[in-house]
Structure 1
Amino acid sequence: MTSRFRFISTHHATFGVKRLCRVPAVSRSGFHRWTASEPARQAHAADEDALAEQITRIHADSGGTYGSPRVTVELHHQGARVNRKRVERIMRQRDVVGRHLRRRTHRHIPVSTSRGEPHPSGE
Structure 2
Amino acid sequence: MGIARSTYYDQPETAVDDTALVETMGEISDSFEAYGYRRMQAALRQRGILVNHKKVRRLMREHDLQPRIRRRFIATTESDHELPIFPNLAKNVTPDGPNQLWVSDITYVTIAAGFVYVAVILDAWSRKVLVTPSVGRSTRA
- TM-score normalised by length of structure 1: 0.44
Structure with higher Rg: it is: 2
Higher relative contact order (CA 8 A, sep 6+): 1
More strand per residue: 2
- TM-score normalised by length of structure 2: 0.39
More helix per residue: 1
